[in-house]
Amino acid sequence: MSTLLFTFFTVLFNFSTLPAQQTSEQQDVFVPIGKYIQMGDSEKLSAWFAPNLEMDILGTVNVCSKTQAKQIIKEFFSNNSPKSFEIAYRSGKAPMKYAIGTLSAGGSKFRVTLFVKTQEDGNFIQQMRIELE
């Protein structure tokens, strides 16, 4: 399964780096975010967090700073070790995009919803929701 996902991300990455008519609109911001969720890498994932964001983890809602959100997701990953993550749906356009994916972690399946805002200085996760499926 991990080989299949690696191949998928490799093909997707190679396709997204083709020089023909590539703009920031065409780049999929959810590819690296999805990779860090699958890896359970709270450090790299938190680099995508807005300075303040909403975290809804298993029904506990927090509007928090980037640092607090990093600790929240780190704790979630330590309690639920990620095995796989796949984005099932993407929508929206700049300045607000969202994606819904399925995370297999800790023997459970979770629905992950991400809202990403595009600003002049980059793309930032404004809201992250993780719910049991």
pLDDT higher than threshold 80 for residue 48: yes
- The span from the CA of 88 to the CA of 112, in Å, is 10
The pLDDT, as a whole number, for residue 66 is 98
The pLDDT, as a whole number, for residue 56 is 98
- The span from the CA of 105 to the CA of 38, in Å, is 9
- Supply the pTM of this predicted model: 0.79
The pLDDT, as a whole number, for residue 1 is 53
pLDDT higher than threshold 50 for residue 23: no
Alpha-carbon torsion (93, 90, 64, 83), positive or negative: negative
CATH code of 2-132, in short, is 3.10.450.50
Two structure tokens written together for 79: 């309690």
Query: 3-class SS at 69?
Result: helix
pLDDT higher than threshold 70 for residue 77: yes
